[in-house]
Amino acid sequence: MPRTVALTGATGFIGTVLRERLVRTGARVRALSRQHQPPIDGVEWVVGTLEDRGALAALVAGADSVIHCAGAVRGRRKEDFLRTNVEGSLRMIEAARRGGQCERFLLISSLAARHPQLSWYALSKYEAEAQVRQAAGDIAVTIFRPTAVYGPGDRDVRPLLEWLMRGWLFALGRSSARLSFLHVDDLADAAVCWLEAAPAPPATYELDDCHPGGYNWSAIAAIAARVRNGPVRCVAVPIGLLKTIAHINMSLARIGRYSPMLTLSKVGELAHPDWSCDSRPAREALGWHPQTTLNKALEERLF
Ligand SMILES: NC(=O)c1ccc[n+]([C@@H]2O[C@H](COP(=O)([O-])OP(=O)(O)OC[C@H]3O[C@@H](n4cnc5c(N)ncnc54)[C@H](OP(=O)(O)O)[C@@H]3O)[C@@H](O)[C@H]2O)c1
């Protein structure tokens, strides 16, 4: 019998790809949206927010699986992240428990949760994980901690990759930093593997493209130079300069009342020396095999 999956964040960058992939696997998809959506691929839309318990109850009714992907990735204040990522995730798992039919719950967290002290975002993802685990009852909770995700529709990593292919690498933060990446299609594959596997004990998995030890800036420049068959110039953007840009950005965001990506809090993440991760446990437990390395993504313009 096809699975019924309740999906949040289905209108965002990652959630859109997840939604399309779930439909292709034959799952019945019920998706939360803050706005009315046109009918698409047989998806059953539930209009509402993570603040609306009634909408969350309608979302999970009859669903055997929940994928909670909605989240705040930008914000002007700590509260913006805590309200959506912590309180919203807690409401989601509570709704799944009350609904009584959810067997498994996948929380799309972030590698940032490994270091909650670094930023408001990191703290909110860490707290969300803890609260979801604690409130899960009999529901099998799996937590994905993807590293930086890129692909069509992404607004954050994509500019870096576009400049790379023009021959410029903007090395943000430490010159010695180790980074990792994950293509959005591989993240969607991991979710499908999770859905198709037998329900497992609670687990937390880091996810990247399985490039051993991650990438440093010079490795990224070397890959891009090879792919474009031309030079790549490295422009160092030191932490001090990032902080100045973040100050300006935060002032503009206050005036323009928008949610900025680069804040002083975010600089804490960018200044961290090691964002490499180990996705072997995910591969072994889920039978998942990421297909897209940075090299392949640049060669085939998969972003
Ligand atoms: N992008 C990355 O590199 C990355 C890496 C690791 C983890 N993640 C995690 O992956 C998830 C998705 O990220 P993304 O990059 O796809 O972000 P995104 O494009 O900003 O999408 C966020 C989604 O969450 C929804 N949402 C936000 N607040 C909500 C609320 N209060 N009620 C209901 N829906 C709400 C948004 O709805 P609207 O369309 O109405 O705004 C949108 O569908 C997040 O949990 C993020 O922390 C992302």
Which of 7, 11, 156, 184 to mutate for ligand 1's pocket (most ligand atoms within 8 Å of CB)? 11
pLDDT, position 2 = 76
Tell me what pLDDT residue 296 has: 98
Ligand 1 atom nearest to 153, measured from its CA: 19
Task: Please write the tens of the pLDDT for every residue from 48-64.
Answer: 999 999 999 999 999 99
Helical segments of 34-82, H only: 53-60, 78-81
Sheet strands (E) in 104-223: 104-108, 140-146, 148-150, 168-172, 178-179, 181-183, 203-207, 215-216
Rounded to the nearest angstrom, the distance between the alpha carbon of 7 and the centre of ligand 1 is: 12
Phi then psi for residue 31, to 5 deg, are -125, 140
| 175 domain residue, yes or no | no
Quick check: 220 and 168 in contact, CB under 8 A?
A: no
Residue segments in the chain with a per-residue pLDDT below the cut of 70: 1
Domain membership of residue 18 (yes or no) is yes
Digit-coded pLDDT (tens) for 7-46 = 999 999 999 999 999 999 999 999 999 999 999 999 999 9
The predicted pLDDT at position 187 comes to 98
Nearest CA residue ID for atom 11, ligand 1: 69
Domain hosting 186: range is 4-154+181-210+276-291
- Ligand 1 centroid, distance to 168 Cα (angstroms): 29
- Is residue 217, in this structure, part of any structural domain at all? no
Angle between helices 88-99 and 53-60 (to 10 degrees): 50
Whole-number Å distance, alpha carbon 230 to ligand 1 midpoint, is 36
Domain membership flag for residue 99: yes
Q: Is the CB of 86 under 6 A from ligand 1?
A: no
| 297 found inside a domain | no
* Tally of structural domains, the chain: 1
| Per-residue pLDDT at 13 | 98
Question: Has residue 112 been placed in a domain?
Answer: yes
Residue of minimum CA distance from atom 44 in ligand 1 = 71
- C-alpha neighbours within 13 Å on the C-beta side of residue 250: 16
Quote the ligand 1 centre to 221 CA distance (angstroms): 29
Residue 251 in domain: no
- What CATH number does residue 129 fall under? 3.40.50.720
Q: How far is the CA of 228 from the centre of ligand 1 (A)?
A: 32
Any domain includes 82? yes
Q: Is 13 in the pocket of ligand 1 (CB under 6 A)?
A: yes
Q: The tokens 């030079």 sit on which residue?
A: 231
